[in-house]
Amino acid sequence: MKNVIIHYQTLDRESISPAEMEKIDSMNDDEIRDYLERFYIDETIEVSAETEEALLYSHHIFAIDLKQFTKLPKLRVLDLGDNDIMKIDLSPLSKCSELVDFSLHNNSITQIDLTPLTHCLKFEGLSIDKNPCATIDLTPLSQCFNLRYFDIQGVSLQEINLSIFQTCKNFEALTLTWNDLKYIDLTPLQNCTKFKSLWLDFNLLEEIDLTPLSACSEFEELFLNFNLLKGIDLSPLASCTQLKTLQLNDNPFSNIDLRPLSACSDVSVTVSTKKIEVPAETLKLEVVEPQFPSAKAYLKMRERVDSEEEEE
């Protein structure tokens, strides 16, 4: 089979004058996309028609037509991470029957329709983290029955309904780090019996009920660093005997009881409070100094980060 030429567009930044940059600063997202098209440069990359992995991360891509990838019948992995894509139509991916993993990590996408992925019957993993897409409709993922992992960190999510994953029997890992979650209902995860990993660092959680995780016998790691938790009941994790990592740093706990973890023979726990009830059995416990002396200090840091991102 012949090679396939993949076309994409980058931005000729040197052709944009200071006056034009000033004009762009006053535009909305749609206007910016349309305006920048006049500065696009066509680029190409040649790949084998037999390729299974199209790795186009960090190519400074602003625009790309996914129809080209239908010419790669064996395509399993498509990585468009760390680019400058602002808008993308996933419709052509519905014809990529072998597609397993797709990444749009760290682009500038505000809206995206995930429905075409429901036609990829082997699809397992999606990364759309670090995009300004907090209002994205995630319900199509409920039809991705083989989904194993989903990464949507750093998009300023204020809420998420995990019921979209209860039909995904092979679901293993969920990353929700660096969002604005004040509450999360884990109940749907009790249907995901293969679930192993949950990342909730850098959110605004004040409480969390871990009870649904008691049904996840293969559960291995839980990250709750940098939240606003004043207490946590770890007893649901007693049945998670495969638990290997539990991180609870920088939460304003008054005290924490680790005794429910006595059946977790290989767990490593990291906390930043010295008021700890530990099981009689040996536990790999690390007590670290908190990075933020108070919840107020943590919130101030988040405000500063949000302000810097808005300026960018």
Distance CA 125, CA 25 (A): 35
**pTM (predicted TM-score):** 0.92
Q: Which of 201, 271, 284 is nearest to 244 (CA)?
A: 284
pLDDT tens-place string over residues 251-282: 998 889 999 998 888 899 999 877 788 876 66
Whether the CB-CB separation of 115 and 139 falls below 8 Å is answered with no
Q: What's the domain count of the chain?
A: 1
pLDDT value, residue 285: 86
Angle 18-25/29-36 helices, nearest 10 degrees? 150
246 in any annotated domain: yes
Distance CA 246, CA 276 (A): 14
133 in any annotated domain: no
Per-residue tokens: 172: 């293993």
pLDDT value, residue 281: 65
Distance CA 169, CA 215 (A): 13
Distance CA 49, CA 252 (A): 55
Backbone angles phi, psi at 74, to 5 degrees: -100, 10
Q: How far is CA 8 from the centre of its chain?
A: 25
Between β-strands 284-287 and 3-11, what pairing exists: parallel, antiparallel or unpaired? Answer: unpaired
Q: What CATH number does residue 240 fall under?
A: 3.80.10.10
Q: Which of 155, 196, 195 is nearest to 176 (CA)?
A: 155
pLDDT value, residue 178: 96
33 in any annotated domain: no
4 in any annotated domain: no
293 in any annotated domain: yes
**Containing domain of residue 221, as a range?**
190-312
pLDDT value, residue 25: 86
194 in any annotated domain: yes
254 in any annotated domain: yes
124 in any annotated domain: no
Low pLDDT (below 70) residues in the chain? 1, 280-282, 310-312
| Length of the chain in terms of residues written | 312
